[in-house]
Each structure stands twice: as C-alpha cells, then as structure tokens.
Amino acid sequence: MANEIEYFSHANGAQEVEEMYGVPARLLRDGEGWARERVTLGTHNSTHVDAPYHYNSTIQGQPARTIDELPLERFFGPGVVIDATDRLDGEVLDAADMEAGIAAAGHDLKPGDIVLIRTGRDSFYGEPGYMDRGPGATAGATQWLYEKGVRVMGVDAWGWDRPLKLQAADALASDAPGVFWEAHQADLDYCQLERLANLGALPPTGFSVACFPLRLHRASAAPARVVAFLQD
C-alpha cells in the first residue's frame, strides 16, 4: 500500500461549512473555510519505528509488545553513528563491527543510547531497487547491542537486516530457520528505526535523538519524525 495524501482546499472547506452549518462563503473571512487533508499511511512505508510485535507474536516467552505499549523514554536518548558507508550491498555487520564502529566514533556506549548505522543508502530512497541495497546487521550484532542496554537501533537503508532477497536465497539454500530475517527474529525486545536519512550531517557522537512514534493502537510499527539535537 502506497502512502497517499488528499488535499481539500479552503474553497472545499467553505462548501463544507455551508453544507454542514448553512453558513455561506460570504460570511467567512475571504470567503474561505477550513483546509484539511486525508492521509493513507502504511506503518512501515516511511521512516518508522518497529515494535517487537512486528518480529514475532512472542518475545522472550512473553507476548510481544506493540508500538502503543512501549515506554516513551525509550525514544529519546544519546545517539551514536556507526559509519558503514564502505560496506557493499549485502555485506554483514556483526558484533565485532558494532564494537569497532562505536569505538571509532569515540562514544562511550551506555544503556538507553540510540545506535544509528550510516550506510549512505538513503541517497537511493524512492528509486527502484532501494530495498535491495545496503549491508545488514546480524542477529549476533543485534544481540550484542541489546546486551549493552541499547533498545533502539536504526539504519539509513530499507531495513536493519541484509536485503531480503539475499536472505531468502540463503535460507532456501540452507533449508534452515534463523537465516531469513535473522536480526528481526532474534527474540529481543528492541525497536528498529528504518529508512532514516541525512545521517551524514551528524557528528559520530555528541548528540541526542528523538524518535517518538505515533501512538497507534495494537500496531506493529508507526511513522516517526526522527530528529537529532546537537550539543553546543
């Protein structure tokens, strides 16, 4: 489902006012009524936050939490950018890569920090093949971040995992579970930020991230306006 927005002009609003309340346009300022919009928005179609429920129905033996069940404090915290712009499409980022990337950023990782992977694939956003670009985190890399207390991790590519068509080929060739969508289905109560942009405008560390999702009842994800606040 594509994201869509339908616009209703001030003239449309004036017509609605007359239809609903009998007030003609001549009694409105400049003959105008309200402007409004109607939005059709997929929860995963734009920059968004994935809730644990997206990955599986249960996480660590408990019902997986939906986006409206997660604490707001999870979505604001110190940020760090791991530079993976040298990685090819389909390459893996493992736990050692995460540790090395955070060290290279000069960041002292703490629980509650928000880890962002810069791949540079945001430059392909909206183009054919965008979803097949970028390296991806392994389940082990995700586990390593989780054990450090990280509960929100994000990427400026289509997804946190390697491109799905590559994982699908590997899963079919191995005929084994745990290959396709491995980082998503790592059985961890964490959130992903996917389809970020402009990470190249940030320093490696020394900023905070706000990534509050829309509070959608029982949803597996929600769009978010992700903003970084730089320290003076």
Q: Tell me the CA end-to-end span of the chain in Å, nearest whole number.
A: 42
* Long-range CB contacts (within 8 A, 24+) of 85-89: 85/118, 85/119, 85/120, 87/119, 87/135, 88/135, 89/132, 89/133, 89/134, 89/135, 89/163
CB 160 within 8 A of CB 143: no
Q: What are the residues facing 227 on neighbouring strands? A: 210
Q: Average pLDDT by consecutive 10-residue portion of the chain (232 residues)?
A: 91 98 98 97 96 98 98 98 98 98 98 98 96 98 98 98 98 97 98 98 98 98 98 80
Comparing C-alpha atoms, which of 192, 72, 198 is closest to residue 139?
Answer: 192
Distance CA 83, CA 33 (A): 49
Reduce the DSSP state of residue 228 to 3 states and report it. Answer: strand
Q: Which two tokens stand for residue 56?
A: 């599986």
Comparing C-alpha atoms, which of 67, 42, 69, 41 is closest to residue 54?
Answer: 67
Q: How many residues does the chain have?
A: 232
Kindly provide the residue ranges of all beta strands, DSSP E only, lying in the chain, ordered along the sequence: 4-8, 36-40, 48-50, 58-59, 62-63, 76-83, 92-93, 114-118, 136-137, 152-155, 191-194, 207-210, 221-223, 227-230
Residue limits of CATH 3.50.30.50 in the chain: 48-230
Distance CA 7, CA 36 (A): 6
Q: Which two tokens stand for residue 111?
A: 């629980």
The pLDDT of residue 1: 61
Q: Which two tokens stand for residue 201?
A: 């405008």
Topology of domain 48-230 in CATH is: Glucose Oxidase; domain 1 (3.50.30)
> Could you give phi then psi for residue 225, rounded to 5 degrees?
-95, 105
The pLDDT of residue 35: 98
